[in-house]
Amino acid sequence: MTLKYTKDHEWVRVEGATVVVGISDYAQTQLGDVVYVEVPEVGRKLEQGKEAAVVESVKAASEVYAPISGEVTAVNTDLAGEPGRVNADPLGEGWFFKMTVAKPKELDALMDEAQYKTYVEGLG
């Protein structure tokens, strides 16, 4: 199961006709302890690069952008009571939402794991 990444540190995992979206391990380390997550409503139409969710730690609040365009099909309601999952398991139980793929070309253009790793190292 391969992950794709955006420059804004979101990851995308393909699950059939939909994808799962979350934030990367690098992002959660930068944020610190996550205290609150605001996820979009099911059915909302997202545009690539536009704000999709908000993640808050004690010291910072960050936008989570839609990695691709599509419609939200499911959201991780567990994050309301346990925002710490984003820190503990950012690539697994810390997922934010699932969405459809409106434009497959957008998905192809994202970074793969190796490219993202290089990108993060370059950030210093």
Partner 1 sequence: MRYLPLTTADRQAMLAAIGVSSIDALFADVPEAARLDGFVDLPRAQGELEVERALGAMAAKNLVAGAVPSFIGAGVYRHHVPASVDHLIQRGEFLTSYTPYQPEVAQGTLQMLFEFQTQIALLTGMEVANASMYDGASACAEAVMMANRVTQRKKAILSGGLHPHYREATRTHARFVGFQAKLAEPDPEAREDLASEIDGATSCVVVQSPGVFGQVRDYSALAEACHKAGALLIVVVNEAVSLGAVRSPGAMGADIVAGEGQSLGNALNFGGPHLGLFATRERYVRQMPGRLVGETLDAEGRRGWVLTLSTREQHIRREKATSNICTNSGLCALAASIHLALLGEAGFTRLAALNHAKAVALADRLAAVPGVSLVNDTFFNEFTLRLPKPAAGVVERLARKKILAGVPASRLYPGKPALKNLLLVAATETTTETDMAAFATALAQVLA
Partner 2 sequence: MTDWSQAVSQFRSDAKTTATVSGNRGLQIEEPLLFEQNAPGRTGVDLPEPPAVRSRLGGITREGPIGLPGLAEPQVVRHYTRLSQKNYAIDTGLYPLGSCTMKHNPRLNERLARLAGFADVHPLQPISTVQGALELMDTLAHWLKTLTGMPAVALSPGAGAHGELCGIMCIRAALEARGEKRTRVLVPESAHGTNPATAAACGFAVDSIPATEAGRVDLAALRAKLGPDVAALMLTNPNTCGLFEREIREIADAVHGVGAFFYCDGANFNAIVGRVRPADLGIDAMHINLHKTFSTPHGGGGPGSGPVVLAESLAAFAPIPWVVHGAKGLELVERAQGSARGSIGRLKGNHGQMGMFVRALAFMMSHGSDGLRQVAEDAVLNANYLLARLKDELTPAFPGTCMHEVLFDDHFLKDTGVSTLDFAKAMIDEGYHPMTMYFPLVVHGALLMEPTESESRGSLDAFIAVVRALAKRAKSGDAESFHAAPRFAPRRRLDETLAARKPVLRWQPPRSDRQAAD
| Binding-site ranges for partner 2 (CB under 8 A) | 32-33, 35-36, 56-59, 83-84
42 binds partner 1 (CB under 8 A): no
Span from 17-25, 58-66, 75-83, 105-113 in contact with partner 1 (CB under 8 A): 58-66
Q: Which is nearer to partner 2, 58 or 74 (CB)?
A: 58
Q: CB neighbours (10 Å) of residue 58?
A: 11
Which residue, 37 or 99, is less far from partner 2 as judged by CB? 37
Q: Does 57 bind partner 1 (CB under 8 A)?
A: yes
Residue closer to partner 2 (CB basis): 33 or 113: 33
Smallest gap, in angstroms, from Cβ of residue 55 to partner 2? Answer: 12
SS3 string of the chain? CCEEECCCCEEEEEECCEEEEEECHHHHHHHCCEEEEECCCCCCEECCCCEEEEEEECCCEEEEECCCCEEEEEECCHHHHCCCHHHHCCCCCCCCEEEECCCHHHHHCCECHHHHHHHHHHHC
Strands 51-57 and 18-23, bridge-based pairing: unpaired
**Is 3 or 54 the residue whose CB approaches partner 1 more closely?**
54
Rounded to an integer, what distance in angstroms lies between the CA atom of residue 108 and that of residue 111? 8
For the CB of residue 83, give the shortest distance to partner 2 in the complex, in Å.
6
Binding site for partner 1 (CB under 8 A): 35-36, 56-61
